[in-house]
Amino acid sequence: MTTSYYEPQDLERFAEIGKDAPELARKFFDYYGAVFAEGELTGREKALIALAVAHAIQCPYCIDAYTTSCLEKGSNLGEMTEAVHVANAIRGGASLVHGIQMRKAAEKLSL
Amino acid sequence: MDQQSNRQPQAFPEPGIDDFGATLAKHGLTLTRASSRALQINVGLLCDLACRHCHLEAGPSRHEVMTRETMAEVIAYAGRARFEQIDITGGAPELVPHIEWLLTELAPLAPRVLFRTNLSALGRPESRALVEVLRQQRCVIVASFPSCNTGQAESQRGIDYMGKGVATLKMLNQLGFGVDGNNLELDLVVNPTGAFLPPAQCQTEQKFRQDLLRKHGIVFSHLYTFANVPLGRFRHWLESSGNLENYLKKLAGSFNPATVQGLMCRSLVSVSWDGYLFDCDFNLAIGQPLEGRKRHVAEMAGHPPIGIPIPTGDYCYACTAGSGFT
């Protein structure tokens, strides 16, 4: 048993996920590549979005990969930190807005 | 003073990194000198900054600067050999005595004269006369400016850099450098602020234009992105931070054979502060002389011969990664 579920070098082995289901992996990686190709959004903008999402879903592999990608696409630490705050605001806001459900449920039960 | 006294050891390939010469051979390529178009003059290792990516390990404690006598020999060589471009670099050339005289003498000898600056040294009150010479001689100012983010810029170049850099860029704009219609060129050079590859040049230029104009009202002519070269202070940092192997792998993995034909070492002659000749600033940094033997600029009749081999090392991957070192 490893001492951690997460090993940084496992990121380089991502393609091995296709070993026993190659067709599904091919479809995923083709789609993944198409999503990150330059389009209406630049590659730099897409990398910032990916960095924010990586923090929202708390994927250490994605945080590692998209920190490098953001730097190599010319984003600076100020922009990257703001992107993380956007993820945090949405995550926090999403929890907070559900407080309305709580208040509605409480209102129904209360005098 | 013998320049060899400050040499750093040859950078040998790390385990797991292909020898650069073997990589060239794998692609059926050799690295040989073409027609020499540019003369680069490194006027000294003295600098007011000690940037953490500096391959020459220049800084305030370095005292090696070109003497007026060596300057005269370089000027004579530039007159004999004639180059399309002359490129003054350091260290901080601003701190070298007689630099105004050197520029004034060199300017008529080439259609284009570049002056490389860290901005900090050029912004000092003592540099006003030099700035005026640069303006009068219509030299191209090539300024290092790593990031629009203060923390990242200062992690590379030192505390208080950003304010000085921005103030100098504003001063140069006021004098007309980088402003359309003045024929006074101001180019920016962006090196990554760590062990990662530089962003695409055209996108970085667009972004720096937006950011510098929005935040500071600064304009410039062109922007160039360069990978950090794993030599000198930057190599020491790569080693101590545990980044060396991955960085070299990244550079080697980005090897682009199409860049070899246009590498600057094929068309540039680099002169060290004490007047010796090299194929590029990086071979100068590790003491690999042109044609494998130490030769002074005073001995050179003209351009180095076309076809002579150029010494290489693992640091050459920095110039051949991606779209290359333009």
CATH number at residue A91: 1.20.1290.10
Query: Is the pLDDT assigned to residue A44 strictly greater than 50?
Result: yes
Any idea how long chain B is? 326
Is A71 part of any domain?
A: yes
Is A57 part of any domain?
A: yes
Pairing of strands B186-190, B85-89: unpaired
- Please report the pLDDT score of residue B14 as a whole number: 66
Chain B residues closer than 8 Å to A79 by CB? 149
Residue type, B54: C
User: What CATH fold (topology level) applies to the domain B35-242+262-308?
Assistant: TIM Barrel (3.20.20)
Summarize pLDDT for A69-92 with one digit per residue, the tens. Answer: 999 999 999 999 999 999 999 999
Residue type, A37: A
The answer to whether the CB atoms of A71 and B151 lie below 8 A apart is no
Among residues B98, B189, B186, which one has the least CA distance to residue B138?
A: B186
Q: What is the 3-state secondary structure (H, E, C) of B263-320?
A: CHHHCEEEECCCCEEECCHHHHHHCCEHHHCCCEHHHCCCCCCCCCECCCCHHHHHHH
Range of the domain at A66: 18-110
B89: which strand partners? B42
- Please report the pLDDT score of residue A4 as a whole number: 84
The answer to whether the CB atoms of A44 and B151 lie below 8 A apart is no
Q: At what angle do helices B161-174 and B150-157 cross, to 10 degrees?
A: 100
Question: Which chain B residue's Cα is nearest to A72?
Answer: B199
Chain B residues closer than 8 Å to A73 by CB? 199-200, 203
Pairing of strands B277-278, B268-271: antiparallel
CA distance A48 to chain B (A): 14
- Please report the pLDDT score of residue A111 as a whole number: 87
Among residues B203, B209, B125, B195, which one has the least CA distance to residue B167?
A: B125
Question: Which residue from A44, A72, A78 is facing B149, i.e. has the nearest CB?
Answer: A78
Report the C-alpha gap between B96 and B122 in whole angstroms. 12
Tokens of B14: 């790390």
The answer to whether the CB atoms of B199 and A44 lie below 8 A apart is yes
- Please report the pLDDT score of residue B323 as a whole number: 73
Tokens of B159: 């505390």
Chain B residues closer than 8 Å to A44 by CB? 199, 203, 207
- Please report the pLDDT score of residue A56 as a whole number: 96
Tokens of B32: 């040989």
Question: Which residue from A71, A74, A79 is facing B194, i.e. has the nearest CB?
Answer: A71
Is A8 part of any domain?
A: no
Chain B residues closer than 8 Å to A64 by CB? none
Is A11 part of any domain?
A: no
Q: How many domains does chain A have?
A: 1
User: In A7-76, where does DSSP find H-type helix?
Assistant: 22-36, 43-57, 60-72
Average pLDDT of the segment spanning B36-49: 97
Summarize pLDDT for B280-315 with one digit per residue, the tens. Answer: 999 999 999 999 899 999 999 999 999 999 999 999
Identify which has the larger pLDDT, B322 or B147. Answer: B147
Q: What is the pTM of this model?
A: 0.87
